[in-house]
Amino acid sequence: MGKIRIAIIDDHDLFREGIKLVLNQIDEFEVVFDHANGLNFIEFLKNSIPDIVLMDINMPEIDGIETTKKAIDLFPELKIIALSMFSDTLHYSQMINAGVRGFVLKKTKKHELQQAIIEVYNGGVYFSQEIIQKLAFQSLNFSKKLTEDITNREFDILDLVCQGKTSQEISEKLFISPKTVEVHRTNILRKADVRNTAELIIWAVKNNYFSIK
């Protein structure tokens, strides 16, 4: 297998150069483009398609949300990971709807960034654990009119899963056995056609099952 070709879009030069240096030290990776401006990245895409894009959210002139939308419009299969700060919470759902495949905190360690890139490259999604927790404890706004497939009990469990509750905690709160909780969780994942909690959160946001406030 050839190297995973990576583009980095971030307007903080020192941060961008640091990530570039770290990634180029990993044998499987090659940074093929880096720039502070989303418009330059869109021009780059017309001639070359990277395997993975690391995208800052807050940038001048054109932010990460609009850059992602434009890039995905041109190449729907493009795999973009958002580079996030905790303060970016209000933009999470916008970035998900724009088409990103994951979120990595800017303070993340080398190993986690490497894991995120490989996971998304292989077709999965990736959320830093801190971001999953951040999402989980936001105000949830469920709408039970969106589908007839999800039962009322499954909505209850989906709500608690998005709050970061374990199966044991859910069982105690709903007065059902942990085994029953696991059956419901499996059914929810199947109905949503996702594989894990991170993908379930993305699915829930994209389908307006909860909003991030």
pLDDT at 79: 95
d(CA 201, CA 6): 26
Closest CA to 3 of 52, 43, 66: 52
Of how many residues is the chain composed?
A: 213
Q: In the predicted model, is pLDDT for residue 147 greater than 70?
A: no
Q: How confident is the model at residue 2 (pLDDT cuts 50, 70, 90)?
A: confident
Cα 24 to Cα 16: distance, rounded to the nearest angstrom: 12
Phi, psi of 82 (to 5 degrees): -80, 135
Q: Considering 104, 135, 166, which residue would you say is the last residue of a domain?
A: 135
8 A C-beta contact, residue 129 and residue 199: no
Same-domain status, 131 and 143: no
Residue 141 has pLDDT above 80, yes or no: no
Q: What percent of the chain has pLDDT over 70?
A: 85
Looking only at the bridges linking them, the beta strands covering 102-105 and 80-84 are parallel
Our count of domains for the chain comes to 2
Q: What are phi and psi of 35, to 5 degrees?
A: -160, 160
Distance from the Cα of residue 212 to its chain's centroid: 14
| Domain span including residue 182 | 138-206
pLDDT at 164: 66
Query: What pLDDT does 85 receive?
Result: 82
Question: Is 99 found in the same domain as 44?
Answer: yes
| pLDDT value at residue 148 | 55
**How high is the mean pLDDT of the chain?**
85
Specify whether 21 is located in the same domain as 91. yes
Which tops the pLDDT comparison, 84 or 40?
40
153 and 129, same structural domain?
A: no
Report the predicted TM-score, pTM, of the whole model to 2 decimal places: 0.75
